[in-house]
Amino acid sequence: MTKRKRESVGSVVFDKRSLTWHYIWWEDGRRRSKRIGTKAEFRSKAAAKKAAVPLMAEMQRHDEVAKLSHITVRELVRFYREERMPDQFSTKLGYDSWLNNHILPKWGDYAITGLQARPVELWLSTLALSPKSKVHIRGLLRVLWDYAMFRRDIPTQRNPIELVTIKGATKRSRAPRSLTVQEFQKFRSELEEPARTIALVCVCLGLRISECLALKWSDVDWLNGNLLVERGIVRQRVGRVKTKESQKLISISDEMMRVLKTWKQSTQFSSPEDWIFASPLKLGRLPLSYPWVWKTFQCVAIKAGIGKLGTHTMRHTYRSWLDALGTSVAVQQKLMRHSDVRTTMNVYGDVVTDEMKTANSKIAGLALNGL
């Protein structure tokens, strides 16, 4: 065995003065020693070497980790993007935003082990972001640490990012807005097609705008009065819905069925595989864009004298009206298609379709007639 090899893996030597076997290795340029046993315990060097095998393996492992632990956050992110980055477009878009705008500019040239609780917490406290955004960044840093341990870039240990706390993380910076029936009636009266039908679909069925714009005529079961929600669209890229629970067959009230039939007779894109809200500018190949809907809602809301609102206001309004009508929590959870038990309590089990259809019929009555 060469000197370099002995230094890299260590060696077993016998101390004649104490009559003991020792395992010798080099660490950070310094000689280290660990006692194996006496001459009486290990009669030969071969026996002492056999006893030292676990020590050699541990030393080699630490040596490998020491070499790899210098991987920078930037390098780790590159590997993460290749191997573990979520494939859902909206999630990937968010991750890339946090990485490119915040994490890499600050921590890119640091070793992953440089991401420790206190410096990370202090850094997050200086960012001019909402607590929710800081929570997202903290979560992504925790994911990167876990990924580094998965790759064995660092030893498996407690993730230090778990110790990071964010002040106000459980509080909303702005309360979600819900419209009253009177406010929605004013808003609806100022809308033109297809924005009017989009607003009605969102407020009467509780759909997210990404789900609403991704609907096709083939998703409507005209005979049984159902709607299949199975896709979403973000920045004109079609993908899965937000959660597994969101992919569902939902009941449509008779009133909303008539609204959809009226729109189907008006639009030039009415084939089964056409988008319900197809964009004429894209010759029906894509649905209307989210920015167009958002801008339309903003302008019309101001014109109607109810102030600015976002597209998600329709979903908040749906939930608020369900509650005001005395809809049970179990039915609300199913209609909202929430996957988290803490959101609307998932412990009551499934509810029958008739109850869901009745609730949606009441909501449609408020939206269409103000009753």
Q: What is the mean pLDDT of the chain?
A: 85
pLDDT at 7: 44
Separation CA 154–CA 137 (nearest Å): 21
Reported confidence tier of residue 290, pLDDT bands at 50, 70, 90: very high
Separation CA 188–CA 191 (nearest Å): 5
Reported confidence tier of residue 5, pLDDT bands at 50, 70, 90: very low
pLDDT (mean) for 6-32: 77
pLDDT at 348: 29
Instruction: Please state, in angstroms and as integers, the Cα–Cα distance from residue 34 to each residue in 27, 47, 48, 59, 151, following that order.
Output: 13, 16, 12, 11, 29
pLDDT at 285 over 50: yes
106-143 pLDDT tens trace: 999 998 988 899 999 989 988 889 888 999 999 999 99
pLDDT at 104: 95
Instruction: Please state, in angstroms and as integers, the Cα–Cα distance from residue 100 to each residue in 104, 131, 133, 359, following that order.
Output: 6, 19, 14, 44
pLDDT at 362: 78
212-249 pLDDT tens trace: 999 999 999 999 999 999 999 988 888 888 777 778 88
Separation CA 273–CA 263 (nearest Å): 16
pLDDT at 242: 77
pLDDT (mean) for 304-328: 88
All domains of the chain, ordered by start, with CATH? Answer: 3-67 (1.20.5), 73-163 (1.10.150.130), 181-369 (1.10.443.10)
Predicted TM-score of the model (pTM): 0.65
Q: Which long-range contacts (CB under 8 A, 24 or more apart) does 320-323 make?
A: 320/178, 321/178, 321/181, 321/203, 321/362, 321/363, 321/366, 322/206, 322/359, 322/363
Instruction: Please state, in angstroms and as integers, the Cα–Cα distance from residue 47 to each residue in 6, 14, 32, 40, 43, following that order.
Output: 18, 12, 21, 11, 7
**Prior bond of 194 cis (ω within 30°):** yes
Reported confidence tier of residue 26, pLDDT bands at 50, 70, 90: confident
pLDDT at 344 over 90: no
Separation CA 239–CA 244 (nearest Å): 13
Separation CA 83–CA 75 (nearest Å): 13
pLDDT at 294 over 60: yes
**Lowest mean pLDDT, pick from 15-29, 165-179, 315-329, 341-355:** 341-355
**Lowest mean pLDDT, pick from 2-6, 42-46, 313-317, 367-371:** 2-6
pLDDT at 108: 92
